[in-house]
Amino acid sequence: MPKILVTRRTFPESAAALRASGAEVVIWEDSDAPSQADLIKAVADIDGLYAHITNQVNAEVMDAAPNLKVIAEFGVGYDNIEIAAANERGIAVCNTPGILSESTADEAFALLASMARRTHDLPAMVKRGEWGDFDPLGYLATDIHHKTLGIVGMGNIGSEMAKRAAGFNMNVLYFNRKKRNEEFGATYVDSLEEILERSDYVSLHNPLTPETTNMMSTDQFKLMKKSAILINTTRGPVVDQDALYEALKSGEIAGAALDVTVPEPIPADHPLLTLDNCLIMPHVASATGDTRMKMAMMSVENVLAGVAGDWPPYCVNQAEIAGNARIKN
């Protein structure tokens, strides 16, 4: 009987689907994620790991799990998994692509709209009883329509963002490693610098890699318009937060909305939380009930296929491990 470890709580439906397979299923039910030490202990005899962003699945974890065939990440980003170590050991790594793109783009666009139309700061002012008489020059916001949105990373989520922007009559530019055939009304520009210079809103949708770590730092903020707003729903380390703080404080850029930070959770005394022009959400872009349920069921499909010795449907390293895979069928 294969053994599966799920590193965070899951829906009753996904737990039931795992158990219905006949596998022995261990679900980490604590409100806190396992520490790395706990994880290393818990993986000793597992065949499948249903993993979450809250743990680093590195070579040490993999070496503590000699039977491990498959790591099914709950999420599209799998930067918390040491992919080179999985490749070396022939462990299949899977993710949940596609199904969360629309919910993630919904949130990214909501953040853009919130910063533009000041739903991030004016309601608090109303609650404080500070709403003064109607003032033609008061509480001014920024338009969304006919402004330019620069999308960095035109994958599934970036293209959903472009579709939403088109509905708001925005001009959309995108920068991607490769020019795409289907552009959803967006215009390709061939450098990050150009997109930063031309955009009123810059929304990041590229994965976190060594090349994109601190991709947005002092030099990049200098290129942006002083009126520009940055939206980050990808991964915290893509933005150099110290440089962002300086750029927001000094007026180098007008605002930022972040769904992701370094670290997560961001400490309550972090300097970014002192700024009125910075809106921070707790890494929830895919967090709707429907989407999270679909992600859970996709993770179940991946992990169950892997422990049965079959290629999981959403395997990201099949080509890399084909010669030494622990999966046999």
Binding site for ligand DGY (CB under 6 A): 53, 75-77, 100, 286
> Which of 8, 52, 120, 235 is labelled catalytic?
235
- The nearer residue to ligand DGY, 101 or 199, going by C-beta atoms, is 101
Closest CB 314 distance from ligand DGY, rounded Å: 12
Give the nearer residue to ligand DGY in terms of CB position, either 259 or 320: 259
Of 13, 60, 193, 264, which is the active-site residue?
Answer: 264
Write the single-letter amino acid at 205. Answer: H
Active site residue 102: no
Buried/exposed code over 250-259 (b: 16+ C-beta within 10 A; e: otherwise): eebbbbbbbb
Phi, psi angles (nearest 5°) of residue 201: -130, 135
CB of 242 to ligand DGY, least distance (A): 23
Residue among 115, 67, 60, 59 nearest 254 (CA): 115
199 or 302: CB nearest ligand DGY: 302
Residue 235 among the catalytic residues: yes
| Identity of the residue, 2 or 153, whose beta carbon is nearer to ligand DGY in the bound complex | 153
In the set 73, 283, 292, 320, the catalytic residue is 283
> How far apart are CB 76 and ligand DGY at their closest, in Å?
4
Positions marked active-site: 235, 264, 283
